[in-house]
Amino acid sequence: MATIEECRTALDRLSENLGQAAGDVRRAAALDRSLSCRITDLDITFTGRLVEGRIQEVTTVPGPPSEHAQIRLTMAGDDLVALVDKKLDFAKAWASGRVRLEASLLDLLRLRTLL
């Protein structure tokens, strides 16, 4: 089972990857939205903002977040680490229910490039 520190490191790497992206991926990530990533097996949630392709202002809260973020991810810690390490395909994990992504329809359409 991934630790809180490993999950935080994975989120930092994801932010770096998004910030260095180009083309369609860069445009898709260039949102200004609140973001949460609930790690079910650790019973924690990382909250922050997706701003111009980077995840900023990340904090960790116990349990579910008190407010709904505009973009919400839910998964196990090992799945987060595997996704960032490119050992787990997001589309397959999402289709199988291992990863949940909730956002407005417009945001989902923009984010599909990242999937």
**pLDDT tens column, 14-48:** 888 877 766 766 666 667 899 999 999 999 999 99
**pLDDT tens column, 54-106:** 899 999 999 998 889 999 999 999 999 999 999 999 889 999 999 999 999 98
CA distances from 80 to 24, 41, 106 (A): 23, 11, 24
CATH architecture under which domain 4-109 falls: 2-Layer Sandwich (3.30)
- Domain extent listing, the chain: 4-109
Top-confidence residue, 45 or 50 = 45
